[in-house]
Amino acid sequence: MIEELLPPGVTSSEAFDDAAPAVLFAAEAAVMEGRREGRRRQFATARACARRCLAQLRRRPVAVLPGAGGAPGWPAGVVGSITHCEGYRAAVAAPASVAAAVGIDAEPAGPLPAGVLGLIASEAERAHLAALAVADPSLPWERVFFSAKEAAYKAWYPATGIWLGFRDASLALSPAGTFAVTMRPPVPVPVDPVYEGRWLAGGGLVLTAVVRPPGR
Ligand SMILES: CC(C)(COP(=O)(O)OP(=O)(O)OC[C@H]1O[C@@H](n2cnc3c(N)ncnc32)[C@H](O)[C@@H]1OP(=O)(O)O)[C@@H](O)C(=O)NCCC(=O)NCCS
């Protein structure tokens, strides 16, 4: 599914469960020591996805370790992103010559838990989502909103090292399957603040992907 959101040259791999055996590097296994079984399996399946992406890029398999702020560490010259949610795991990766940054996110389709939207969306964003829901009530707009901001954050963070809350970014969503997230960091950063992406909803999931072209 995620490949539908990606331009040529960006590789992807996904899984809908943890059934396939996934072998971890020792350093990865060490990171997961003491973690609950479900988290270990999710982490391992995502690493298998990451290594399939690297193989498609003709890169050798390496450990993909959580680094600063939790961002996954990719080999030099590669950018990538990982997501997992109930019933879905995925990784994407691209050579730096194809993308300056990527971020992906998956969420179960459906409304956010009661009260969450009020905490994470501005008044203008809530009005925007309400208008989209009137035009097409069948789509889980709140989840697309949430997921799009998380995907943009995953592209933003490795370049800046700056944590941003949901209220520190604003989102414009198009029913045509695109979106733009504008970051408002607390300090000026020499990075284009607008992250453009694509979304889809299907199979009980919402998927989002941000791919920033090189040089931006
Ligand atoms: C980091 C965060 C985005 C992860 O999203 P999530 O829906 O909880 O979890 P997902 O399964 O989709 O993604 C988890 C993966 O994201 C990646 N990730 C974690 N922190 C990251 C970061 N700072 N930058 C980039 N990628 C990160 C990791 O690869 C992680 O998987 P792993 O632990 O197996 O390596 C989320 O927990 C968070 O902190 N959000 C707050 C910040 C935010 O989204 N702001 C929005 C406004 S811009």
Give the model's pLDDT for residue 21: 83
Which regions of the chain carry the CATH code 3.90.470.20? 2-95
52-67: per-residue pLDDT in tens? 999 999 999 999 999 9
Give the model's pLDDT for residue 100: 97
* pLDDT band of 196, cuts 50, 70, 90: very high
Ligand 1, atom nearest to 106 Cα: 12
Average pLDDT of span 97-116? 95
User: Rounded to whole angstroms, how far apart are CA atoms 44 and 119?
Assistant: 32
- Asked if residue 80 has its Cβ within 6 Å of ligand 1, the reply is no
Q: 201 C-alpha vs ligand 1 centroid, how far in Å?
A: 20
What are the two backbone dihedrals, phi and then psi, of residue 19, each rounded to the nearest 5 degrees? -70, -40
pTM for the model: 0.96
* pLDDT band of 68, cuts 50, 70, 90: confident
Percent of the chain whose pLDDT exceeds 70:
100
Amino acid present at 103: G
Give the torsion sign (CA, 31, 37, 38, 44): positive
Maximum Cα interatomic distance, the chain, rounded to a whole number of Å:
51
- Asked if residue 84 has its Cβ within 6 Å of ligand 1, the reply is yes
Output the residue whose Cα is nearest ligand 1's atom 18.
71
Angle at CA 151, nearest 5°, toward 171 and 144? 55
Residue whose CB lies within 8 A of the most ligand 1 atoms, among 82, 144, 208, for a mutation test: 82
Q: To the nearest whole number, what is the mean pLDDT of the chain?
A: 96
The secondary structure element, H or E, covering residue 37 is helix 37-56
Output the residue whose Cα is nearest ligand 1's atom 34.
43
Residue 73 tokens, joined: 């560490």
The angle, 0 to 180 degrees and rounded to 10, between the axes of the packed helices 141-160 and 123-135 is 130
Residue 24 tokens, joined: 């971890």
CATH topology of domain 2-95: Ribosomal Protein L22; Chain A (3.90.470)
113-164: per-residue pLDDT in tens? 999 999 999 999 999 999 999 999 999 999 999 999 999 999 999 999 999 9
Q: 155 C-alpha vs ligand 1 centroid, how far in Å?
A: 10
Give the model's pLDDT for residue 5: 98
As a CATH number, domain 106-212 is 3.90.470
CB 32 within 8 A of CB 22: no
